[in-house]
Amino acid sequence: MPLKDLIRSAVGRKLFMAITGFILFGFVVAHLLGNLSIYLGANGINAYAEHLHQLEPLLWVFRIGLLVAFGLHVFFGSILTLENWKARPIVYKRKKHQRSTLAGRTMIYTGLLLTLFIVFHLLHFTFRLIGPETEILAGGLPNVFLMVLESFRQVGFALAYLVAMTILFFHLSHGFASLFQTTGLNNDVALPWLERLSRAIAVALAAGFVSIPVLIFFGLVIK
């Protein structure tokens, strides 16, 4: 099927959502693994940040790819939602949500909130325009360990990330379920198991991320 027709068809759009969602998921897993190096102390996470920046030209290719995947995911996600809303113009007195979950029905909202979180997160840790002042190390890179530690010792930042990771959990738990459906792995026997698997993956990822602000806030990660 030509690309133009694929984009125009509902199945094609779902396919784009699945592929771009999978790329974003890959980033989230890699980012979590990198972030967990905070538990190895300043040397762990700062060395990790340094290695990443040494990959500089390649890092930009990767960042641009990620941005394109993100843009397409938001674009097709918004179109799919608008189409769904248009297809159901009648407001029923008693809403029946057959086989639909709260996470599924709120994908557009959790997606938009996650977009806001990413803007906030980039301003916080990448551009360092908000949050405590950061020490700059000899090589010109920030002291990522102290930057994260000092931020999450403040209740406001710890809470903001806790809320954002809860939203991430909801978004991912449905994201996987629909990824499996798009790939056709959704017969009556497999579906309940795939839904459980989706939730388990989302719980594991969200728990990994949440552990960082929570353990830091309660003083369990020290300099």
CA-closest candidate to residue 214, choices 143, 164, 142 = 164
User: Minimum CB separation from ligand HEM for residue 28, in Å?
Assistant: 6
* C-alpha triplet 134, 115, 19: angle, nearest 5°: 115
Minimum distance, C-beta of residue 159 to ligand HEM, in the bound complex (Å): 12
Of the candidates 216, 133, 198, 205, which has an alpha carbon nearest to the alpha carbon of residue 164? 205
Length of the chain: 223
Q: Are 10 and 79 in contact (CB under 8 A)?
A: no
Closer CB to ligand HEM, 153 or 186, in the complex: 153
| Residue 184 and residue 14 in contact, taking contact as beta carbons nearer than 8 Å | no
Nearer to ligand HEM, 82 or 122 (CB): 122
**Which residues on adjacent β-strands are paired with residue 142?**
136
Locus of tokens 């960082």 = 212
Tokens of 120: 């906030």
Q: How many CB atoms lie within 10 A of CB 76?
A: 21
Nearer to ligand HEM among residue 144 and residue 179 (C-beta): 144
The least CB distance from residue 184 to ligand HEM, in Å, is: 27
Quick one: CA dihedral 52, 57, 61, 63, positive or negative?
A: positive
Residue 7 or 23: the one with the smaller Cβ distance to ligand HEM is 23
Q: How far is the CB of 220 from ligand HEM (least distance, A)?
A: 14
CB of residue 65 vs ligand HEM: minimum separation in angstroms?
11
Please, which residue, 12 or 34, has the CB nearer to ligand HEM?
A: 34
Nearer to ligand HEM, 66 or 191 (CB): 66
Q: How far is CA 55 from the centre of its chain?
A: 23
CB of 43 to ligand HEM, least distance (A): 15
Where does this chain bind ligand HEM (CB under 6 A)?
28, 31, 35, 49, 63, 114, 118, 121-122, 125-126, 144, 148, 161, 168, 209, 212-213
Return the biggest CA–CA distance within the chain: 65
